[in-house]
Amino acid sequence: MSLTQKAIDILTKNDRGGYTIPTSGLYPYQWNWDSAFVALGIATYDFTRAWSEITTLIEGQWPDGMIPSIIFRSDDPDYFPGPSRWGNTLGPIPSTGISQPPVLATVVRTLTDNATAQDKARRAEVYDALYASHKWFHEARTVAGIVTTVHPWETGRDNCPEWNIGLDGMTVAPDLAPYTRMDNKHSDPKFRPSQEQYDKFLTIVQFGQSVGWDQRRLTDEGPFLMADPNIHFVLLRADKDLRAMAVDLGKPTDEIDGWIDKGEAATDYLWNDDLGAFTARDVRTGQFSGGFSNCSALCFYADSGTPEQRAKTLENMERIAARVDYMLPSWDPDAADFEPQRYWCGPLWPQMNYMTALGLSEQGENAMAERVRADLCRAIEQSGFWECFNPVTGEGCVSSQFSWTAAVWLSWQHETKLKGVA
């Protein structure tokens, strides 16, 4: 059986009727940015089903515009923390009280960029929801001009060493309700977040509950507040894609223009001159994290940063490429806390390679774009469709039969086929 057919089979197996879970066992619900990437893959063979991946995600949008990180359409006892632990009733469907990197507008633009009447109708169908979700980020999560994050889970990069600065400044809530982790049941604990990290993750959730999931209070008063290059660059790119769709639909763009201008101005806030890289930063202390991550290169994806900043970013990528066999690791292999098989402490991640390769290619950095793309394909060919991969050996990490890995493979194979036809 071809890898392309295996990828389709994985997405079919993980289909739950209008939405796709990342993989069975460890992730039994609908995740925000997972569904966006999944839609790209499913669209290569069933566009109608791909579109439902987007609309079912939007069904969970809160009245304030936030699209949650997880939508709980059931209460699976095999997953923690589930809907009862989050304890919010603000959305139309039980969900988490935080979001995830907002890739959805970019995916919608990609899928509806054929200028047909049907594509325009699809854009019109979801435009208001996309606009509201961006407005939420710019109003509920922005502090002094920079979009922030209140929880490592919101960044999608749960235990990346970048967050140690913010987590080290926290204390575990003395009244933290007891809990039993379920993630370690499905995956080797030594490759998952530590118990101390998990206690702090749940401390933030408990604070959110205590303020009734008032998002502005969670940002201003919560125990964790950092700026994340992933959210920053993904949102900046998505704002530009939202603007393009607004023009296509005859919608006003003044407010979006303001978001883009502020986003471009805020890019320098994340520039760590000592490292020559865009890194996470603690908003309250101003301290930078200490390593190059796999979102540092998303400046190309957002078409942001100065020529000098981009040149130094590429220098870092060349340095890292000489240290690993598979690009792009999630954490700097020259950092003391690099672990090639521990979740976000080292493995390469398919969705990050997808965005990085796309941005590099769009900005004319074709050699590095091809390295990032080819290395992920080699890892998949060697090990299968895992959640992430060891950048030294290509071995699969954490969970197998993973939806966004299958989707990225299908999307790239489809692009290659189209180029071959052209």
The two three-digit tokens of residue 329, written as one number: 């690791």
Q: Long-range contacts made by residues 192-200, C-beta under 8 angstroms, separation at least 24? A: 192/159, 192/342, 192/343, 192/398, 193/158, 193/159, 193/343, 194/159, 196/172, 197/152, 197/159, 197/167, 199/172, 200/167, 200/170, 200/172, 200/224
- Helix segments in 180-301, DSSP class H: 183-186, 195-210, 215-221, 229-249, 254-266
Is 415 among the catalytic positions? no
Number of residues assigned to the chain: 422
Helix (H, G, I), strand (E, B) or coil at 95: strand
Q: Which of 154, 158, 183, 228 is catalytic?
A: 158
Q: What is the CA radius of gyration of the chain?
A: 20
* Cα 50–chain centre separation: 19
d(CA 274, CA 285): 17
Strand blocks (E) in 329-379: none
- Return all residues near 77 (Cβ < 8 A) that are at least 6 apart: none
- Return all residues near 410 (Cβ < 8 A) that are at least 6 apart: 4, 7, 8, 11, 40, 41, 42, 44, 45
Is 387 among the catalytic positions? yes
- Enumerate the active-site residues: 158, 387
